[in-house]
Amino acid sequence: MPPKASSVLALVLLLGQGMLSSPPPSGLLEKLFQHMDLHQDEFVQMPDGQSLPIPPILLAELGSDPKKPTVCFYGHLDVQPAQKADGWLTDPYTLTEVDGKLYGRGATDNKGPVLAWINAVSAFKALEQDLPVNIKFILEGMEEVGSVALEEVVRREKEHFFSSVDYIVISDNLWISQKKPALTYGTRGSCYFMVEVKCRDQDFHSGTFGGILNEPMADLVALLGSLVDSSGRILIPGIYDQMAPLTEEEKAMYENIDLDLEEYQKSSQVEKFLFDTKEELLMHLWRYPSLSIHGVEGAFDEPGTKTVIPGRVIGKFSIRLVPHMNMSVVEKQVKQHLESVFSKRNSFNKMTVSMVLGLHPWTANISDPQYLAAKRAIKTVFGVDPDMIQDGSTIPIAKLFQTITQKSVMMLPLGAVDDGEHSQNEKINRWNYIQGSKLFAAFFLELSKQHS
């Protein structure tokens, strides 16, 4: 253990003391839920404002009974920057409750879910009940800046801290609905590219040089315009050949998801999406690759007019990858395509293409015991079966844990789709937070049953 532990870790360690070994009595879950309802105001209380140094990666464990499954919770305690002047209605670093919504930076990403897990553990302690599972925590404070050193720690602890772990739970994403809970079983990967077109290092005056040279910006616009059409289809030859085939089972899962397309479009503040059905929209968010153009470096982008010809420009774009897509193949396809387009322009400029980031997609086995346990726990707490969803974004830690530890990884979100993670006025609903604490407690009991 690192010598400097935060107050959060101290709380976690204290929970392990004084637990009884008697089996859970009938009605235990009801007692746990009543305890959480009675103490929900305590769960919402903020720390005393003390300043702490940037925390190390914290590893903690409660229990080591070989007869019980061991579940490890990953969470992060750091947050995105925020200022009230950015458009917050309240101080982003003072938790504020308004109409059942808990506003504050990190409320849903990711401090709320971390505390919900701790609340579940503490409820067993408060009722002097033995935890039905062994608990481990891995909490970091650098996720928002790329999880500095996390991979190194996971590799180092593979045969130590993670050797007894059976299941890993991540709660760092959201439902696709405001009211219906979800389980996440996949995320897309990402390849980020830069394409540079260069004539010289200095810019040109368009009156002096316009019309007598190949302008880098014109070349770049043609290159970027060749990547995707107006319907969103990627124009790079062969890019769709590696996709996993669509099965009937997967198709049925899209049909069952609770998504009001009209409300989703309205809340997104867009006039119209490219697709008219829920199934098409979800498939293009989750199971098809997408290409997005992000920006141009070196171009004039300030207000006003400036008659400049950029001498060197860099276009930036990324491709979201889906299962079965090979990053090295995608990189080769992108380079071949751009080289072909550029060669047809007969430009005297120089073009270079580089892939600067590559992250694999992640897929889980939804028949795994912890997914079955989570489904039952959700039905117990919320009274409905969860939406089985994927996430169109890239969450590298899921693939990292799965690849290195070779353990089962599950994403169990607590937050609603409108929580606004990374945005102004981030919040988590008190209902999601308290019910989420209950969900984790129910999950412990269901996982114990599934494991045995």
**Helix axis angle, 278-286 to 261-268, nearest 10°:** 60
CA 441 to chain centre: 23
Active-site residue identified among 61, 109, 143, 446: 143
Verify whether residue 78 is a known catalytic residue.
yes
d(CA 389, CA 361): 14
Active-site residue identified among 78, 130, 144, 151: 78
d(CA 386, CA 247): 20
Residue 142, classified by CB atoms within 10 Å of its CB into exposed (0-12), middle (13-18) or buried (19+), is middle
d(CA 395, CA 388): 17
According to the 3-state scheme, what is the secondary structure of the chain? Answer: CCCCCCHHHHHHHHCCCCCCCCCCCCCHHHHHHHHHHHCHHHHHCCCCCCCCCCCCCEEEEECCCCCCCEEEEEEECCCCCCCHHHCCCCCCCCCEEECCEEECCCCCCCHHHHHHHHHHHHHHHHCCCCCCCEEEEEEECCHHHCCCCHHHHHHHCCCCCCCCCCEEEECCCECCCCCCCEEEEEECEEEEEEEEEECCCCCEEHHHHCCCCCCHHHHHHHHHHCCECCCCCECCCCCCCCCCCCCHHHHHHHHHCCCCHHHHHHHHCCCCCCCCCHHHHHHHHHCCCEEEEEEEECCCCCCCCCCEECCEEEEEEEEEECCCCCHHHHHHHHHHHHHHHHHHCCCCCEEEEEEEEEECCEECCCCCHHHHHHHHHHHHHHCCCCEEEEECCCCHHHHHHHHHHCCEEEECCCECCCCCCCCCCCEEEHHHHHHHHHHHHHHHHHHHHHHC
Verify whether residue 391 is a known catalytic residue.
no
d(CA 240, CA 232): 13
Active-site positions read 78, 143
